[in-house]
Structure 1
């Protein structure tokens, strides 16, 4: 079973919906006496069965076998201690944090953010920025230092110094050395929310005050604002840039030859299939997916594409940082209405940094739902350690010698001490540094502390409050463990076990075969007269360059060639090739005439190890996995409750 299929069967789905389950739990099977229950098996089967393309996996007996194999691997991962790997724990925690945002929702706040996002999406901002890095959880002194530096540079800009020059000199965005802080055009959701807000709230030609994001402080200069250009569907032909200057010169000349062929009426799509070096779009006639401004990594490509109109739908050849292109307009898609975009915007808002605003609203709900109490005596005792010296910015929680270990705050059954509050103040004192008198400052910080602990408690108990959240986290947790285990036990071994890979190839060499191949020069043209001339030149032994020079001497590009070794079945070969060296007869396919010179015919036969190494390694990985599961079944004791499984099959089928 391939790894992708495994993850398809057991990794979480993108939706949070879950099917109703029978609340009764029965032990379906055990692994070393660890029980696995029917409700989980039925839930996973029902959720994923429509995604499974292999019909054999829909068979419940086969599915149970796969499911047990999956759980065996998780048990093996735990035996190896992979669940304690810091990288694994960090990734799991990061995912949980992201997933939890879906539960921090407030309809009113969400709708306001969605409306704001739509209104902003109607415009595209062209901006530059200067970044002053500071960690999101940096010490107050470091945060203040970055802020003051941003203020200082902004004053210099307002006094007339060049923004781009200062960006090169001071920005801690590494790309600024080359682009002078230039970001190009973007719209909503392309930048982190505070940065987006800073850009949309800054007039054209002006520089924002320091804008705080999780990366640090930014100075944002808005260069221009234009209406959203909508989306566009295009096709393109691309010849890639190379480190070889001779190849680049050839491709630059070739793109103009291809353009001339299109101008002569030849099919854009056919030329793209034959010559475009964009592997993702070339085989489909150059067609790319729909995109809008800022989604590609080439502003010059986007600008050319969006300049096309139905009346002028084909670009001239042009160069980008990636290569040389010809672009053809397929369709322009204008901005959708709010009603059409609302659902998508809500989804984006829930995943965006805007969700913090929603979380603030949720906090108010938590205050109403949870039992919160403060020990007033402990609070009064703690308040005495603060004096006006706190405003100097030098205060630390360690300077308070009293332990303050008694309970200060209680959220339901969870308790927080005075020392917890002192440490919170240490981390957050800069947020309330200007609040006076000291008693008011302390009250504000305590409210913030309470809000934080409410959310800490809420997040810690999401698995208890929301069964579907618990299911998703359990599946993701296992999925990560499985990935790490496969990397350790299968993938790395297959890459490094050179003797094993070679032995596997030797044993299965008959599976790695070439079809018959032709070492061939193919010349094509839409005009039969010119292909006949090409045929005569081929019979005289002329090279591709000599044929092109002889037949493309006029204003129009009459013939074009491709040369190399191609396997039978390749789209680059003309159909119905004869099995004889020499010049072929002329054949016509669609609008094109073809003639070829077959230099050699390479018979079908085995591939050398070097010719199929990557395929051998992939097959070896699959072989190792299949045998590994068999070994795991020997390592662990498995007991299946057959009677319970029969009940499960009846319930699922009904």
Structure 2
């Protein structure tokens, strides 16, 4: 579902620069106007995505854009915009997007510099955790705090950290790792935890500190120069639960290693034998990674211990299976200038962005006019009493004296006193101890004002930043379209079994097996070895017998795989007139092959169960193509050809 959504939104989101233009109505759908500036903007965005010049044809693109807007009109017509999930997701996206605009450059630059400096090191730390929710009651928070203070007292008295961690830590993983978190660098832990780890010296224990998970104590075990990142390729044979099968897996990885030592290509062996299906087709190459980014510390350590390009490890075991690793490239930590933009993006997504938000609030006080009603604030101070400290204070009901606008921002945002009273009531859970009450109310009013300033700023982002408005409008349409497509097309294609069977039957020519062979495929870099294997096959010897005879003295000379393959599969396409029995010998990519065909199946139609995924996808496309024609009949469409002619002229120039 997420992939489908991304495909829809790829129609929308690519940045571009547009020349100024007069805004005119390009077309209407049931009298709803759509303008030329939006069409030009979206067209320019997608220029880099199209694959040939025919897709740049403006008449065809107008039809595509019109079809897109027809679907959005249909979604609104049937009320999808009123759906709770839709509204929540749109709100969530806006909150995320707005974070990119809530920024203070000075604070951001300081955080970027701090993060880059920390990335020069990796810290190994252990921790003890006492769980307590962010919104926990004061008594629960106090209980957790007292517990962590007692733990710190024991550590200060000289007790062993691991022993204390095993006895007291509420981190579920402590039973397996004794609190050891391994090596990490900036952004790998929540920000307060990162601060404690980097600000504590090796061998020392931090003071207790709090994160959103609870109270922590950190012991820094080691600090080392950041190893950077590494790109490796690997061959993996998956670990088996059965002892006999696991021994077989160990034998297989050892045989592959011997073939590497004999000079055979790592990439070819990975493609043939690695059981990591995602990396095998790429010669075993994995995405680059740094310390703490994989779930296997054993794998990481072996990868980073390789020094020279193309160096290959001996076989080793992780919790996932047996591996052989080849070093492709080492990536040291990049320069500050190279990483600056990437770090800014990470900071916006990290909780340290709160520091930027707080700084913004101070600037907004200068940007906007703020009028507060001192009389109402004085009445509120009189209404709040010491019950606040015991969390028993309640907002007075229906008090006319407390009614009115306590705050006005920029002369157009009026904030009723009731909101501030509710804010005060909610803050009781924060266990604020400021006294006397009048001072506490003043303190809370400042926090309330900052929240309202940022809220006002957020509410007006569309007015302040045109690009923000464009992205939100487009996301809104895209989200509606996704929900509509799911309702009208995707779910229908999955659930309409009769329609799917009829479509499949009417298009059976598109779902055909080529001729298939049940085959044993044997390969070696030595032609003489393959010739011997060919003779054994002709005598009816088993694959196990052939391997025993030809793989001797610690050398793996022959490898095999078996299965049902179509006639153009890999090396099978090299043979002419395949039939039952043993083939001749062919060569491909420095390997020699011989094949034993044990059975063959003629070309013919597939069963629906054999290609259901593709059939559903094709049926969805069929439904969508016909659906657009239906929408054109359902809605009244008027295209302003004069405006479209101007658009053509503008884009050609």
TM-score scaled by length of structure 1: 0.92
Which residues of 2 match residues 175-190 of structure 1 at below 5 A? 178-179=176-177, 181-190=179-188
- Residue 641 of structure 1 corresponds to 640
Q: Partners of 1:28 and 1:421 in 2: how far apart? A: 47
How far residue 48 of structure 1 moved from its aligned partner, in angstroms, is: 2.0
Q: Partners of 1:652 and 1:154 in 2: how far apart? A: 69
Q: Partners of 2:213 and 2:480 in 1: how far apart? A: 30
- 1:471 matched to 2:463? The reply is no
- Residue 561 of structure 1 corresponds to 560
How far residue 439 of structure 1 moved from its aligned partner, in angstroms, is: 2.7
Aligned mate of 2:74, from 60, 73, 76: 76
How far residue 463 of structure 1 moved from its aligned partner, in angstroms, is: 0.6
Q: Which stretch of structure 1 is more off in the superposition, 83-92 or 605-614? A: 83-92
Q: Partners of 1:173 and 1:625 in 2: how far apart? A: 50
User: Structure 2 vs 1, CA of residues 163 and 30 (structure 1 numbering), >3 Å: closer, same or farther?
Assistant: farther
Which deviations, in whole Å up to 9, do the C-alpha atoms of 1:94-135 show, x marking residues without a partner? 221221121122222111111100111011122344555555
Aligned mate of 1:327, from 319, 325, 328: 325
User: Structure 2 vs 1, CA of residues 172 and 338 (structure 1 numbering), >3 Å: closer, same or farther?
Assistant: same
Aligned mate of 2:354, from 342, 348, 356: 356
- Residue 373 of structure 1 corresponds to 371
How far residue 147 of structure 1 moved from its aligned partner, in angstroms, is: 4.5
User: Structure 2 vs 1, CA of residues 280 and 579 (structure 1 numbering), >3 Å: closer, same or farther?
Assistant: same
Which residues of 2 match residues 615-634 of structure 1 at below 5 A? 615-634=614-633
How far residue 229 of structure 1 moved from its aligned partner, in angstroms, is: 0.5
User: Structure 2 vs 1, CA of residues 86 and 113 (structure 1 numbering), >3 Å: closer, same or farther?
Assistant: same
How far residue 254 of structure 1 moved from its aligned partner, in angstroms, is: 0.9
- Residue 399 of structure 2 corresponds to 402
Q: Which stretch of structure 1 is more off in the superposition, 179-188 or 595-604? A: 179-188
User: Structure 2 vs 1, CA of residues 479 and 147 (structure 1 numbering), >3 Å: closer, same or farther?
Assistant: farther
Q: Is the 8 A contact 1:514 1:567 kept in 2?
A: yes
How far residue 498 of structure 1 moved from its aligned partner, in angstroms, is: 2.0
How far residue 353 of structure 1 moved from its aligned partner, in angstroms, is: 2.2
Secondary structure at the counterpart of residue 383 of structure 2: coil
- Residue 12 of structure 1 corresponds to 13
Q: Partners of 1:86 and 1:213 in 2: how far apart? A: 32
Q: Is the 8 A contact 2:309 2:328 kept in 1?
A: no
Q: Is the 8 A contact 2:28 2:639 kept in 1?
A: yes
Q: Which stretch of structure 1 is more off in the superposition, 65-74 or 136-145? A: 136-145
User: Structure 2 vs 1, CA of residues 9 and 637 (structure 1 numbering), >3 Å: closer, same or farther?
Assistant: farther
How far residue 577 of structure 1 moved from its aligned partner, in angstroms, is: 4.7
- Residue 204 of structure 1 corresponds to 202
- Residue 314 of structure 2 corresponds to 316
5+ residue gaps, structure 2, are none
Which residues of 2 match residues 496-575 of structure 1 at below 5 A? 496-571=495-570, 573=572, 575=574
Q: Which stretch of structure 1 is more off in the superposition, 584-593 or 172-181? A: 172-181
Q: Which stretch of structure 1 is more off in the superposition, 506-515 or 279-288? A: 279-288
- Residue 92 of structure 2 corresponds to 94
Q: Partners of 2:585 and 2:611 in 1: how far apart? A: 34
- 1:426 matched to 2:422? The reply is no
Which deviations, in whole Å up to 9, do the C-alpha atoms of 1:577-597 show, x marking residues without a partner? 542321122222233222221
- Residue 590 of structure 1 corresponds to 589
Q: Is the 8 A contact 2:509 2:605 kept in 1?
A: yes
Q: Partners of 1:641 and 1:157 in 2: how far apart? A: 78
Q: Partners of 1:54 and 1:410 in 2: how far apart? A: 55
How far residue 281 of structure 1 moved from its aligned partner, in angstroms, is: 1.9
Number of aligned residue pairs: 649
- Residue 36 of structure 1 corresponds to 34
Q: Partners of 1:172 and 1:85 in 2: how far apart? A: 41
Which residues of 2 match residues 16-415 of structure 1 at below 5 A? 18-22=17-21, 24-53=22-51, 55-131=53-129, 136=134, 144=142, 146-148=144-146, 150-151=148-149, 154-155=152-153, 178-179=176-177, 181-242=179-240, 247-310=245-308, 313-391=311-389, 393-398=390-395, 402=399, 404-412=402-410, 413-415=412-414
Which deviations, in whole Å up to 9, do the C-alpha atoms of 1:555-588 show, x marking residues without a partner? 2111111111122332354723542321122222
Which deviations, in whole Å up to 9, do the C-alpha atoms of 1:465-507 show, x marking residues without a partner? 1111000111112222222222222222222222222221111
How far residue 400 of structure 1 moved from its aligned partner, in angstroms, is: 6.7
User: Structure 2 vs 1, CA of residues 372 and 638 (structure 1 numbering), >3 Å: closer, same or farther?
Assistant: same
Q: Is the 8 A contact 1:139 1:427 kept in 2?
A: no
User: Structure 2 vs 1, CA of residues 76 and 162 (structure 1 numbering), >3 Å: closer, same or farther?
Assistant: farther
Q: Is the 8 A contact 2:517 2:600 kept in 1?
A: yes
Q: Partners of 1:78 and 1:366 in 2: how far apart? A: 37
Q: Is the 8 A contact 2:119 2:226 kept in 1?
A: yes
Secondary structure at the counterpart of residue 396 of structure 1: coil
Secondary structure at the counterpart of residue 51 of structure 1: coil
Q: Is the 8 A contact 1:9 1:52 kept in 2?
A: no
Secondary structure at the counterpart of residue 10 of structure 1: coil
User: Structure 2 vs 1, CA of residues 52 and 156 (structure 1 numbering), >3 Å: closer, same or farther?
Assistant: farther
How far residue 405 of structure 1 moved from its aligned partner, in angstroms, is: 2.3
Secondary structure at the counterpart of residue 102 of structure 1: coil
Q: Is the 8 A contact 2:205 2:219 kept in 1?
A: yes
Q: Cα RMSD (Å) of the superposition?
A: 2.8
Q: Partners of 1:158 and 1:63 in 2: how far apart? A: 72
How far residue 204 of structure 1 moved from its aligned partner, in angstroms, is: 3.5
Q: Is the 8 A contact 1:432 1:444 kept in 2?
A: no
- 1:599 matched to 2:595? The reply is no
Q: Partners of 1:488 and 1:140 in 2: how far apart? A: 47
Which deviations, in whole Å up to 9, do the C-alpha atoms of 1:594-626 show, x marking residues without a partner? 222122333322212121111111111111222
Q: Is the 8 A contact 2:530 2:585 kept in 1?
A: yes
Secondary structure at the counterpart of residue 326 of structure 2: strand
Secondary structure at the counterpart of residue 368 of structure 1: helix
Q: Partners of 2:136 and 2:79 in 1: how far apart? A: 33
How far residue 206 of structure 1 moved from its aligned partner, in angstroms, is: 4.4
Which deviations, in whole Å up to 9, do the C-alpha atoms of 1:353-406 show, x marking residues without a partner? 222211222212211110101111111111112344433x32434367736221
Q: Partners of 2:541 and 2:505 in 1: how far apart? A: 43
User: Structure 2 vs 1, CA of residues 245 and 38 (structure 1 numbering), >3 Å: closer, same or farther?
Assistant: farther
Q: Is the 8 A contact 1:10 1:475 kept in 2?
A: no
Q: Partners of 1:305 and 1:550 in 2: how far apart? A: 35
Q: Which stretch of structure 1 is more off in the superposition, 344-353 or 210-219? A: 210-219
How far residue 158 of structure 1 moved from its aligned partner, in angstroms, is: 5.2
Which deviations, in whole Å up to 9, do the C-alpha atoms of 1:301-344 show, x marking residues without a partner? 11111111118921111222222211011221222222332232
Q: Partners of 1:341 and 1:402 in 2: how far apart? A: 57
